[in-house]
Amino acid sequence: MTFKNSISENEYNKLIETLSYRQKELERRITIDEVRGTLREMGLLELLRENDIKEVRKEVNREFKGQQRRKYFISASILTILVASSFTFMGYKLATFLAFKFPDTAANLPPLIRIEVNTRVQIIELKEELENRKEEIQEKERKIDELQDEVNTLENQLKDEREKISAKEEIINKLQKEKTILQEKLAALNNKPEELIPTANLKPDKERYTDLENIFVNFSFENIDYAEGYIIQLVPSNRPVSYSSRPRIDVGKNDKSVEFTPRTPGNYEIRAYINTGTQWKLIQRKPIEVTEVPEYKVE
C-alpha cells in the first residue's frame, strides 16, 4: 500500500504492527483518534492525509477482526472436541458439565446428554425467572407497605378532623339551644301586655307664681287598679319624700283640681300619692317656682 504524501513500506509495517499491538491490549477495534495519536508519536502525522489515516485504521481493524474470528473458531472447535470426547473418555457427568457450561456445543452430544443439558438450562432459566418474580413481588410489597403507611396517615388525619368537626358541632348545638331559649324569652316579652304606669297627670295652671298668688293644680288619676286613698301635696323641692308632709290635700279618685294658698318664694314640687293598702306610694311629681312680687315705687 502506498500513500500520496508517502511513507516508506517499513514505516507503514511498523505503524500497522504498533497499532495491532495496542489493539490487542485494548481488546477492541481501534479508533481514528488512537491512529492519529500513534502517528503523532511516530512523527508520521504530517505525512498522511485524513483519508490515508482512515485507511490505516480500517486495515488494522480488519486484521484484528480476522484474528478474533480465528480465535473464536479455534476455541469453539476445541470445546466441541472436548465435550464430545469427554462422554467416551471422561464419563457421562463430566461431559454433561462441559455441555452445560458451553451450551453451543450440546448439539454434538448424545441425545441423553442433550436432554439433561436442556433440562438443566430450563431449570436455571426458571430459577432466574423465579428470582426476578421474587424481586418484583418484594418491590410490589414494598410499594404496598408505603401505600398502607400513607393510608394510615390519612386515616389518622381524617380521625383528627372528624373529632374537630364533632367538637364544633357540639358547640353549634349548644349555641343553637341558647339561641332558641333567647328567642322564646324574646317572644314572651313581645307578647307580654304593656305595663300601665300609674299617673296623676299633674298640670298646674302655670310653672311660675308670685308669693301673693294661689296655686291651682289640675289632675286626673289613671292606670290605677286599686287605691284606698289619694293625696296632692305641695312642698319645697328639697324636702324628703313623705306623704305626711304639709300642706297636703286628700282628694278623691274622680276629683279634678285643688288650690293651695300662696307660698314664700322658692322652688316647690307638687307631689301625688296613692294608698296601695299597705303604704303611700309617690306616683308623680311636678316642679314649680314661687317668686317675690316686685315692689312698685309711687312717684
Host H or E run for residue 269: strand 266-275
Q: Is the pLDDT of residue 264 over 60?
A: yes
Sheet order of strands, 229-236 included: 208-210, 280-291, 266-275, 229-236, 248-251
For residue 58, count other CB atoms closer than 10 A to its CB: 13
State the pLDDT at residue 206: 93
Cell of 267: 322652688
State the pLDDT at residue 225: 83
Q: State which of 88-92, 133-137, 284-288, 293-297 shows the largest mean pLDDT.
A: 284-288
Query: Which of 257, 256, 264, 254 is CA-nearest to residue 217?
Result: 257
The 10s digit of each residue's pLDDT in 147-166 is 999 999 999 999 989 989 98
DSSP assignment of 186-201 = HHHHHHSPPPPPPB--
- CATH H-level, domain 203-291: superfamily: Immunoglobulins (2.60.40.10)
Query: Which of 45, 43, 8, 15 is CA-nearest to residue 30?
Result: 15
The mean of the pLDDT values for the chain is 77
State the pLDDT at residue 241: 93
Bridge pairing between strands 266-275 and 248-251: unpaired
Residue with cell 297636703: 248
The 10s digit of each residue's pLDDT in 167-194 is 998 999 999 999 989 988 888 877 776 6
Break the chain into its structural domains and give their ranges.
9-103, 129-192, 203-291
Evaluate whether 116 touches 96 at the Cβ level (below 8 Å). Answer: yes
Q: Is the pLDDT of residue 41 over 80?
A: no
- Band (pLDDT 50/70/90 cuts) for residue 88 is very low
State the pLDDT at residue 1: 47
- Which of 9-23, 148-162, 231-245 is predicted least confidently? 9-23
For residue 250, count other CB atoms closer than 10 A to its CB: 12
Evaluate whether 53 touches 35 at the Cβ level (below 8 Å). Answer: yes
Across the range 36-61, mean pLDDT stands at 62
Secondary structure letter of residue 238 according to DSSP: T
In angstroms, rounded to a whole number, what is the distance separating the alpha carbons of residues 165 and 169?
6
State the pLDDT at residue 190: 79
